[in-house]
Amino acid sequence: MPKKKIVFTGGGSAGHVTPNIAIISELDNWDIHYIGSRKGIEKELIHKINLPYYGISSGKLRRYVDFENIVDMFRVIKGCAEARSILKKIKPNLVFSKGGFVSVPVILAAKSLGIPIFIHESDMTPGLANKISTRFATKIFTSFEETKEFFPVQKTTVIGSPIRKEILNGSADKGRVFLGFDNKLPILTIMGGSLGAKKINEVVRSSIKQLTQYFQVVHLCGKNNTDMNFSSIPGYRQFEYVHEELSDILAATDIVVSRGGSNAIFEFLALNIPMLIIPLGLQQSRGDQILNAQAFQEKGYSLTLEEEKLNEKSLNEVLDTLYKNKDKFQRNMRNSHKGEALQTLVVEINKY
């Protein structure tokens, strides 16, 4: 029997790609293809897992008036034509989208060809790409219960966020050996996203002497953001980004500082790592990370510190509170039962 075919799409940030990779790794007996943008991060990530990759034209979807909207409208139209041509050649049984600008032409093309469409929304409120895609979707899955109100109830299922299995299988001992850390002080991991976070990096480094009195610090600071002036500080390790070693580092981590991206915070939830979330502000985003952080704090999984209030004093104070109450946060996390999304999606996809 020939394999069933599925096309994944989603891009613009790692958060739109890594959940797709988690699902892809669990799909047996499927012929899998990926459609993304020509230059986005999704191209780099998908090439690493050796999948057939097709780049199309895509434009940014803006919620405000801008001349670039006209230019990008033509890019989206071109992307629709390109995606339709690709889908007609592949003839997939299903398209699965994680959102991002590039997904819209793929969804429109799939709908025009009568191909069933699944979408997954990670954040509390849907992004513009998924809002547009809603009317064309066969099934919609969400990470948050609160998100259901934005989608047609008959199409929508709340499942949580698909977690990469490898992230759950790290070794704390291997993590400490890789970092050169011991058991004398707890480990604090700081992650600002794949591109890093300028303000977080600055405040961490200005606070590093105080932080390393109480923690051994792992600082994932983003591409081109390491600072050799801090490379010799005992108990402080900085990296642009880590790949294979991340699961071991997280297994050794006692508390974590993170942005409020849904995929990252659901991974920390599955690992029972108490979080300090510093979400992107409204000047840098549509506010989805603020809502994600609020939801996690209300459920007792994390604390939140607004970037506008981030300084040496506030960072140290909130980290002190987080660590002292670590056991309480972990009890709440263990009771969350949020680790089943991946298998739910695999079952739903296999039905098609």
CATH number (domain holding residue 17): 3.40.50.2000
Residue with tokens 């029997």: 1
Distance CA 11, CA 47 (A): 13
193 with 149, same domain?
no
Residue with tokens 């490898």: 166
Flag whether 349 is in a domain.
Answer: no
Flag whether 350 is in a domain.
Answer: no
Q: Is 293 exposed, middle or buried (0-12, 13-18, 19+ CB in 10 A)?
A: buried
* Nearest partner of 249 among 175, 164, 184, judged by Cα: 175
Work out the average pLDDT over 250-264.
95
**Residue 110 CA, distance from chain mean position:** 25
80 with 211, same domain?
no
DSSP 293-336: HHHHHHTTSEEE--GGG-SHHHHHHHHHHHHHTHHHHHHHHHTS
85 with 195, same domain?
no
130 with 234, same domain?
no
Amino acid at position 196, single letter: G
Flag whether 341 is in a domain.
Answer: no
245 with 297, same domain?
yes
Higher pLDDT, 287 or 128: 128
Q: What is the pLDDT of residues 133-184, one digit of tens each?
A: 999 999 999 999 999 999 999 999 999 899 888 899 999 999 999 999 999 9
Judged against a pLDDT cut of 90, whether residue 13 lies above it is answered with no
Work out the average pLDDT over 283-297.
85
Work out the average pLDDT over 328-352.
88
Flag whether 39 is in a domain.
Answer: yes
**Residue 130 CA, distance from chain mean position:** 15
66 with 176, same domain?
no
Full domain range(s) for residue 131: 4-158
141 with 174, same domain?
no
pLDDT for residue 67: 47
**Domain boundary, last residue among 106, 123, 158:** 158
Flag whether 342 is in a domain.
Answer: no
241 with 192, same domain?
yes
pLDDT for residue 189: 98
List b or e across 151-186, with b for residues whose CB sees 16 or more CB atoms inside 10 angstroms: beeeebeebbbbbbeebeebebeebbebbebeeeee
* Nearest partner of 202 among 228, 168, 235, 227, judged by Cα: 227
**Domain boundary, last residue among 158, 179, 211:** 158
Judged against a pLDDT cut of 90, whether residue 196 lies above it is answered with no
Number of domains in the chain: 2
Flag whether 194 is in a domain.
Answer: yes
Q: How confident is the model at residue 64 (pLDDT cuts 50, 70, 90)?
A: very low
Structure tokens at 278: 């510093």
200 with 151, same domain?
no
Helix axes 312-324, 198-206, angle to 10 degrees: 80
115 with 259, same domain?
no
Structure tokens at 246: 């991340």
Judged against a pLDDT cut of 90, whether residue 73 lies above it is answered with no
Beta carbons of 238 and 226 less than 8 angstroms apart: yes
Q: How confident is the model at residue 96 (pLDDT cuts 50, 70, 90)?
A: very high
Higher pLDDT, 13 or 193: 13
pLDDT for residue 71: 56
Flag whether 348 is in a domain.
Answer: no
Work out the average pLDDT over 330-350.
88
258 with 140, same domain?
no
- DSSP 3-state of 308: helix
Beta carbons of 35 and 57 less than 8 angstroms apart: no
**Domain boundary, last residue among 110, 132, 158:** 158
Query: How many other CB atoms are found less than 10 A from the CB of residue 23?
Result: 22
Give the mean pLDDT of the chain.
Answer: 90
Flag whether 312 is in a domain.
Answer: yes
Structure tokens at 215: 């923690």
Model confidence, pTM:
0.84
Query: How many other CB atoms are found less than 10 A from the CB of residue 112?
Result: 14
Higher pLDDT, 176 or 77: 176
Distance CA 169, CA 299 (A): 25
239 with 129, same domain?
no
Higher pLDDT, 183 or 40: 183
Q: How confident is the model at residue 1 (pLDDT cuts 50, 70, 90)?
A: low
Distance CA 175, CA 238 (A): 14
* Nearest partner of 273 among 236, 311, 226, 327, judged by Cα: 327
Residue 13: in which H helix or E strand, if any? none
